Amino acid sequence: MARPTIYSDELANTICEQIAEGRSLRSICLDEAMPAKSTVFAWLADPGRDDFRTKYVHAREAQADVLVDEMTDIADDGTNDWMEQKNSDGEVTGWKENGEALRRSALRISARQWIAEKLRPKKYGSKVALTDGEGGPLTVQIVKFKDAPRNDPR
């Protein structure tokens, strides 16, 4: 079966719904029934596809919210955080931290946080406050310099 290349509202809606559910465009486009990423990007660049662009932007915003929800789930899931420690006879002698699982969880959270900040900077981005260097409000002083003297060759 050939990948679809012709735009349809049904296909566009499916792509946007899956993005809004948290799937990446890359993973969606790996499905043989879906268009290639290059086709989707061409649709987004098409001046006649404002409706698709709008849906896509909203889907990406919803995706950011899903990623933030996932961050909490990842942080709260301690399933693989500990491993049994065994002696040379194979007997369990205690537990030890599973550093690999902990680092992977931290990486998963960090990646989602970064993406959410980029997709919805007003909601999830770092807040920047302009201050005078001491925490006070920034004040601007406009100074008008005197007009420079003219060299009048008269």
Kindly report, residue by residue over 56-94, the tens digit of the pLDDT.
999 999 999 999 999 999 999 999 999 999 999 999 999
- Cα separation, 61 vs 68, whole angstroms: 11
Residue 70, Cβ density class (10 Å: 0-12 exposed, 13-18 middle, ≥19 buried): middle
| Domains of the chain, each with CATH number or no CATH | 9-124 (1.10.10.60)
pTM of the model: 0.73
pLDDT digits (tens, 9 = 90+) for 4-41: 889 999 999 999 999 999 999 999 999 999 999 999 99
- Cα separation, 62 vs 21, whole angstroms: 8
